[in-house]
Amino acid sequence: MVTTPQTIVISGYYGYKNSGDEAVLQSILTAVDEQSKALGLNLQPIVLSIDPELTKSTYGVQAVHRMKLGEVRQAIKSSSGLISGGGSLLQDVTSPKTIPYYLGIIKLAQWMGKPTFIYSQGVGPVSRGLFHSMIKLVFKKCNYISVRDHESAALLQKMGLRSKSIDIVPDPVMGLHPKERREALNEGIDEHGNKNLPVIGISVRYWEKDRIELQKIVEGLQMVMQRQPIHLRFLPFHLPSDVEASQYMIDQLGDVSSTGSHISLCSDAVHPQDMLWEISQCQLVIGMRLHSLIYAANVRVPMIGISYDPKIDQFLERLELQPVGNTSSLSPSALSSEISRLLLHEEDWRVVHATQIDQLKQEAQVPAQRIVEYIFKGDNK
């Protein structure tokens, strides 16, 4: 029996055309919908987005502008609760305004007497002491807290939160399902028109001011192409900046046809599940973006992480992997050797990491289960 329709507000970094954060949203929407249906709840999401129309058309859900307080307040007032997450919402590296905004949304819901839930967030770095006390005060009144790694949990404990009140779960995107797409394969030719070339997905971003990290990746790829032809498939996760970073590398690589290799740029994977499908077609993924690595794990594609932030290292650790290097000290020869090794042992990699990936996929459903159960119990008191 399906209950009376209810709404739940979802707050995060949505509508900015960042494939990783959009994948987080899609994953949360899917998990909450599946868990709600399992309990007979009719729970409809309202997403706080910088581009409500884009969010509505992409996901078929209600959305309001995240910066229009009146709309946000009304959405929360009429809801059965607020989900904050996932992603790296509570950090003060990109801006000192980020933490106050997201905590303010949670606090607004708490003032209205609504249950609040933290959904698989990555917490930190938090360099300002004032923010430590703010996070503690707001999180102590949350009805459910889950974080995506042990480091986030340790930071919250350092702030004064009890460890027993914190679930450590994978990033929500581990639970995302790829879209079913018909593969346009002819004899020995892939859908990009390349003859039996191993496809290496590449997700890069600008980080170092002198672009040294991108140049080192280029050098590593050139070393590989001296040994074997490959298809370099650039996969921009954050538009338009990642397109620019990808194009920078493409320009540095130049004409690779003499090696029998090929370069392409993915420009139409707007929906997260389309990007997940793109990665599923790769033999290997080289990723600076966290969610490029999470996508790869989701579809069991071998990965090489290049670290610019602790969150890269933390995710790789869950698969007992390490980054090949970081953006300030990447060795082209080390990258080249790791690419060749993984292309040669692609199936072995899948076998070795199968159990870890399966477990992460199962654990990724936990936050939605806990949240929907809480609302279901409140609805049946």
Q: Which pLDDT belongs to residue 239?
A: 85
The answer to the question of residue 178 being in a domain is no
Range of the domain at 275: 199-360
Q: Are residues 309 and 370 in the same domain?
A: no
Q: Are residues 375 and 316 in the same domain?
A: no
> Could you tell me the CATH number of the domain that includes residue 232?
3.40.50.2000
Spatial separation of the C-alpha atoms in residues 34 and 368, rounded to whole Å: 9
Output the CA torsion sign for 146, 149, 152, 153. positive
Q: Are residues 212 and 117 in the same domain?
A: no
The answer to the question of residue 124 being in a domain is yes
Q: Are residues 102 and 165 in the same domain?
A: yes
Q: Are residues 226 and 371 in the same domain?
A: no
Q: What is the DSSP letter of 78?
A: T
Q: Which pLDDT belongs to residue 186?
A: 37
Domain count, the chain: 2
Cα angle 182-351-263, degrees, rounded to a multiple of 5: 45
Q: Are residues 371 and 260 in the same domain?
A: no
Q: Are residues 324 and 372 in the same domain?
A: no
Other Cβ atoms within 10 Å of 216 Cβ, number: 22
Q: Are residues 220 and 138 in the same domain?
A: no
Q: Are residues 156 and 210 in the same domain?
A: no
Residue 107's alpha-carbon distances to 72, 102, 104, 142, 258, in angstroms, are 12, 9, 5, 9, 60
The answer to the question of residue 182 being in a domain is no
Cα angle 10-290-325, degrees, rounded to a multiple of 5: 160
Element containing residue 325 per DSSP (H, E):
strand 325-326
The answer to the question of residue 38 being in a domain is yes
**Tens-digit pLDDT string for the chain (381 aa):** 556 889 999 999 999 988 889 999 999 999 999 999 999 999 999 999 999 999 999 999 999 999 999 999 999 999 999 999 888 899 988 888 999 999 999 999 999 999 999 999 999 999 898 999 999 999 999 999 999 999 999 999 999 998 888 999 999 999 888 776 545 433 344 555 555 899 999 999 999 999 999 999 999 999 999 999 999 999 999 888 999 999 999 999 999 999 999 999 998 887 888 999 999 999 999 999 999 999 999 999 999 999 998 889 999 999 999 999 999 999 999 999 999 999 999 999 999 999 999 999 999 999 999 999 999 987 655
Q: Are residues 41 and 93 in the same domain?
A: yes
Q: Which pLDDT belongs to residue 88?
A: 87
The answer to the question of residue 350 being in a domain is yes
Residue 257's alpha-carbon distances to 44, 187, 229, in angstroms, are 51, 21, 9
Q: Which pLDDT belongs to residue 191?
A: 52
The answer to the question of residue 153 being in a domain is yes
Q: Which pLDDT belongs to residue 189?
A: 46
Q: Are residues 132 and 222 in the same domain?
A: no
pTM for the model stands at 0.85
User: For 327, phi and psi rounded to 5 degrees?
Assistant: -65, -25
Q: Are residues 150 and 281 in the same domain?
A: no
Q: Which pLDDT belongs to residue 288?
A: 96
The answer to the question of residue 108 being in a domain is yes
The answer to the question of residue 270 being in a domain is yes
H helices of 48-97, where?
A: 52-59, 69-77
